Structures are given as structure tokens and as C-alpha cells.
Amino acid sequence: MKLRQWSTVGLVAVATVATLNTVPATASRPYDPTTQSLATLGLRHGLHVGTAVNMDALNDASDPQYRRLASSEFASVTAENVMKWESLEPTRGTYNWAPADQFVEFAKRNRQSVRGHVLVWHNQLPAWLTSGVADGSISKQELRELLRKHITTVVNRYKGKIWQWDVVNEAVSDPWDTPSTLHYKGFWAQNLGPGYIADAFRWARAADPKALLFYNDYNIEAFGSGNPADDKTQFVYDMTKSLRAQGVPIDGVGSQGHLGTQYGNFDTLQVTAALKKFAGLGVATAFTEVDVRSQLTEGVQAGNAEEINPRLQASAANFSVLMKACLAVRSCLSYTVWGFSDNHSWVPGWFDDPPEGLATIYDENYQPKRAYQELKSDLIFAGPPYVLPRIAPRPRR
């Protein structure tokens, strides 16, 4: 990778470290990093620790703790839902910008960077779009034009305000899908063919020359067999390599990081190796939606500590694995949790057989869990020579 293609956010980080190191520490009031936010501790490394934001929770006057933590603990924010197509254009041609505008304003007020989520995804599409395609009233050609218009309109509106855009989300199938050989899946691939991916990045770039443009997916934390027929990480790696070779303006790959304590998961070195391999393609990386859920057995639900404790510990360990790997690789720019408290997590609403939960870093009463403390200690105890300031790519033209 050519160094001149990269700009050094490291300089900012070094300046930040210098500032932090000048915090007056006296014998009576020594500098105590454990009292600092994840945001502040992450920025020591130029790393943006972020969260997804649920706008209903943010606007709930009876829940002030949510707003307090969302604004103070994180350096970066992602809209959990309000930038998705169904939310932005519920009726064809009529945009509902207010919630997304409010979200972007919130970030600005709190000096937080914004990850834009999401331009192209097969879920949370407006009904007028999917039903129009299903009944044939929207042709393939018109659909492609609608996608171009959507990307252009949304990226334009927030031009200059978005640090990283998730341009394409979850385009690749999983081994449990049919057919099991990995392939491009979902509404967009079925209707437009996989060429929509390159188109989407080009349209996003045309609308904002400065945002970092990401591909975002789950189950790509580490490489597996190395065979793209069953190794999703390899499939996404090959796709990214091919897009770069064609000159498509893709700047980063986001690894969502939705883990569960019931699974084997990975060790820090496996995850570090994957991030390094993506770095070798010249793209940035980020953990974009981290949470680590657990099965809520009858014992857990009854408050049995012997069942709860190992889950909380395993969850913390997995949060930490992803954080340490991210810290170790300079092109890993941000680490975003997908909601920060168990009372506002997508997990219980999604996984109910068996029920799952306990996925975030604060409990439902906003008490920090072990996972929060582990993330903090990872950030505090990291430094040279293994953890160095971040290096961000220049947006690719």
C-alpha cells in the first residue's frame, strides 16, 4: 500500500495524547484514567468508540440516562434505524428527514463523528418499493434509477457531515442459506444482479468526495477455511479485492461483530490477522455493530448467579477480543457497539426461541457491566510499540 494514499489521523491522536498527558495531575489529585469515558480513552489511540443510537430512547424524557450516556461516553454515533430507506422515504417521493436530521444535529452538538447507516440493504425497504417490484409496476430499469436517486439524495443531504457511510450492507449469503455455496443474496442482487454493489459505491462517491465508503457485514470477524464457497470472510475479501482492482471507490470494510457466548468465536490473534489482511488491500476496517448476546435460560431469568456470571464474563471477553484486535491494527478506525444498554437492545426482540439478551455493555439500569470495564482497560493499557495511532485512508476517487 502506498503511504501517500493515506492521511494520518495519527497526528491528531498524538496531539490528543499530548493534551491528555498534560492533564495536571497532582499528588492530591492524580490523573485517573478509569474515570474517563470510552470516547476519551479511545481517542488516545485515534480510535473512535461509538454506539448505535435509538432515537425513541434518545427522545424519551423519562429516560434521561440514555441521552446522558449517548452524548458523553461515545466519540461516534450510528443511527440504529432512522437513516434506513423505509424511514427516510415511507411514501414514494415524500421524505421524512426530521429524525435523521435530529440525529445528525445531536452528533454535531456533542462533537461526535457519524457513521451513516445504511444506503443499500435488503431489509427495512419501503413497502411501496418492494411491492412495486413484486407486482411489476416498477421495472428493473426503474429500480436501478430509484436506487441511484436514493443514494444521491441521501448522501447529498448529509454531505460533509458523515465520516463513514455503510454504502452496501449484508450483500453476501451465509452457509445456512440455500444454496449453501456463498453467493450474493437478497432483493438487490435478485433484481439488479451483483453489479449494483460497484454502482452504489460510485454513486455515493459522486455525491460526497470526502466520506469514507464502507461495505458492512456480519460473520466476517476472522477467516475460516479460506474457500470463498463456505468462508464468508474470504468471500468478502475477494469481493473487496476485485472492487479495488476495478477502481471502485470502496474505502473500508465494516465487520459488524454480532457475537453470542454460546458460539466458539475467535481469539484476538485470529481477529487481528483478519484485520491485517484487509489492510493489505488498502482498505480501512471498523467494528460497526458489536454486541455479544447470551441465551436467557430459566436459571438466568430467575437470577441464578451461577448461570449469569459465566455469561457476563464470556460476553466481556468477546467484546475485549474485538477491541484488542482493532487496537492492534492501525487501519481499524472505529469500534461501535450496537446499543449500549440492555433495555434498548435489538437482541431480545429478535431472538426469542430460545430467548437471548444480556448483549450490551451496560445493564438495563445503566450500570456498567464487566464488558464495559474490559473495554476501558483495553484502551487504558494499550500503547506503543504494539498499539499505535490510527492511519485513515484518503477517500478513493
342 binds ligand G3I (CB under 6 A): no
289 binds ligand G3I (CB under 6 A): yes
Q: Does 256 bind ligand G3I (CB under 6 A)?
A: yes
Residue with cell 457475537: 259
Q: Which is nearer to ligand G3I, 36 or 341 (CB)?
A: 341
CB of 123 to ligand G3I, least distance (A): 4
Contacts (CB under 6 A) with ligand G3I, residues 76-115: 80-81
* Residue number closest to ligand G3I, CB atom: 346
CA atoms within 13 A on the CB side of 397: 1
The reply on whether position 73 binds ligand G3I by CB under 6 A is no
Binding flag, residue 123, ligand G3I (CB under 6 A): yes
Closer residue to ligand G3I (CB): 81 or 285: 81
Q: Which of 266, 272, 267, 174 is nearest to 229 (CA)?
A: 174
**Residue closer to ligand G3I, measured from CB, 36 or 255:** 255
124 in contact with ligand G3I (CB under 6 A)? yes
Q: Which residue in the list 89, 170, 356, 374 is annotated as catalytic?
A: 170
| 215 touches ligand G3I (CB under 6 A) | no
Give the contacts of 229 (CB within 8 A, at least 6 positions apart): 181, 182
How far is CA 260 from each of CA 223, 323, 350, rounded to the nearest angstrom?
A: 18, 16, 13
Q: Find the DSSP H helices in 184-304.
A: 186-192, 196-207, 232-245, 268-279, 298-301
Annotated catalytic residue 289: yes
C-alpha cell at 378: 483495553
Q: Cα(228)–Cα(207) distance, rounded to whole angstroms?
A: 32
Q: How far is the C-alpha of 189 from the C-alpha of 330, rounded, in Å?
A: 33
Q: How far is the CB of 291 from ligand G3I (least distance, A)?
A: 9
Binding site for ligand G3I (CB under 6 A): 80-81, 123-124, 169, 256, 289, 346
As annotated, the active-site residues are 170, 289
